[in-house]
């Protein structure tokens, strides 16, 4: 892992910690409020907008937090239920989503998922390093069968649109995707498939896939 990425990860961890400390009181208020089933848009405004888009459109300003606009509802539902039972223990889950999700009902989770999935999708940006993006496209579409690395299309679709409970990657923040890839590889974020894939990938391959995904 290169020095630049280490700095990004360190900065990411410090920022998450700072925001988490500042938001302890807010999370407690959310926990008390979320036991009453509100309209999904009200719930988004009260509990989601600070991290996932102040206008409620699911487009987070900070690359620390994922874009949820047009995300597949099955994926959002699955992740919120994992947060609710503390089934994810990566730093962002602990700092934010455990507290927010613990009081959510299945009905609320479904409503929030449908709300965000109905928001207009975000488009990727052209790569500043086309050769790197081309390399990432090959890995994304074909994997590396000789090293038992499946193509990303199997779970995420040919255009990054996602499949069932596997997330949409198109329009996602580049930095967010990069951090998540390394968290999967280190085991900080739990997912057997993604851990298996990323542990077999080189830093250069991860960088290439991230660069390509950011164009979708």
Handedness of CA 66, 67, 69, 70 (dihedral sign): negative
Q: Note the helical H segments in the chain.
A: 3-22, 24-33, 40-43, 49-52, 73-84, 91-92, 98-101, 106-117, 130-142, 153-156, 174-186, 192-199, 203-213
Q: What is the pLDDT of residue 9?
A: 52
- Full set of structural domains in the chain with CATH: 3-117 (1.10.760.10), 130-213 (1.10.760.10)
Q: What is the pLDDT of residue 198?
A: 98
Q: What is the pTM of this model?
A: 0.84
Q: What is the pLDDT of residue 40?
A: 87
**DSSP readout, 70-127?**
T--HHHHHHHHHHHHTT---SHHIIIIIHHHHTT--HHHHHHHHHHHHTSPPPP----
CA distance 164 to 170: 15
Q: What is the pLDDT of residue 23?
A: 41
- The pLDDT averaged over each successive group of 10 residues in the chain (216 residues) is 54 47 39 52 91 95 96 98 94 93 95 97 96 98 97 98 97 97 96 96 98 98
Q: What is the pLDDT of residue 51?
A: 95
Q: What is the pLDDT of residue 1?
A: 58
Q: What is the pLDDT of residue 34?
A: 42
Q: What is the pLDDT of residue 72?
A: 98
């Amino acid at each position: 892992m290169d020095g630049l990425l280490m700095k990004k990860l360190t900065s990411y961890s410090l920022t998450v910690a700072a925001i988490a400390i500042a938001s302890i009181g807010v999370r407690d208020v959310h926990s008390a409020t979320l036991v009453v089933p509100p309209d999904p848009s009200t719930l988004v405004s009260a509990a989601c907008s600070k991290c996932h888009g102040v206008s409620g459109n699911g487009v987070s300003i900070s690359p620390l937090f994922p874009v949820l606009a047009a995300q597949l509802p099955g994926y959002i539902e699955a992740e919120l239920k994992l947060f609710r039972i503390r089934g994810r223990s990566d730093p962002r889950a602990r700092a934010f989503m455990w507290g927010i999700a613990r009081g959510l009902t299945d009905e609320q989770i479904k409503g929030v998922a449908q709300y965000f999935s109905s928001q207009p999708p975000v488009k990727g940006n052209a790569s500043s390093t086309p050769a790197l993006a081309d390399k990432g496209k090959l890995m994304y579409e074909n994997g590396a069968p000789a090293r038992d690395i499946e193509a990303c299309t199997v779970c995420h679709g040919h255009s990054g649109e996602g499949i069932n409970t596997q997330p949409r990657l198109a329009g996602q923040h580049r930095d967010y995707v990069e951090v998540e890839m390394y968290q999967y590889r280190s085991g900080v974020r739990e997912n057997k498939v993604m851990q298996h894939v990323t542990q077999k990938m080189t830093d250069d391959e991860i960088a290439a896939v991230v660069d390509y995904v950011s164009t979708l």
